[in-house]
Structure 1
């Protein structure tokens, strides 16, 4: 067999293994990334608490879709995660800060 045919046969067998699945389409999927300063949104009604305890007094009831800014997170000794958040501001324009169970 001629060396050229060996080279063509080897290229035909190895070449497709280097292509990605889908016939060589190299376009990346479109993802929407959250910007660093973009607020978090509540997914449902939540109680904003005065401290990271289950029986802590409730400061306010948050509605679904209310924008929040994450201040910090904390793990209690019992293993529960708490998030300290700040609201964007209420009707008077005052921001509230409190804790949500994570």
Structure 2
């Protein structure tokens, strides 16, 4: 018994190639480069209603977030500050980039 021919083309060959084409077109949708999973960026919200931060103790305001950085000035207890950025140092301690809300309006880093 011979293979079924459709206008000079074997039916099994057409079926095999159409299946292969279908798999080839659907496979990239599951790969990372094909965009199978879309990760939405997390939304970061800044809460304006929380008000300023206040220092509880006297603290040094540093030029940069490293332990060896020189101190710009010393902040008195109760100084109002606005948090600009948080940084995790190499030693595992956190640093806060703050803006002083008093008349001098200085910026610097506090070690937490």
Larger radius of gyration: 2
Looking at secondary structure, tell me which structure has more helix per residue.
2
The number of residues matched between the two structures is: 66
**RMSD value over aligned CA atoms?**
1.8
Q: Distance in 2 between matches of 1:87 and 1:47?
A: 12
TM-score of the superposition, structure 2-length normalised?
Answer: 0.54
Select 1:59's aligned residue among 72, 76, 85.
72
Q: Which has the higher contact order (CA 8 A, sep 6+)?
A: 1
1:10-65 CA deviation, whole Å, 9 max, x = no partner?
Answer: xxxxxxxxxxxxxxxxxxxxxxxxx7251111001000000001111111100000
Gap regions ≥5 residues in structure 2: 1-47
- Return structure 1 stretches of 4+ with deviation > 3 angstroms: none
Gap regions ≥5 residues in structure 1: 1-34
TM-score of the superposition, structure 1-length normalised?
Answer: 0.59
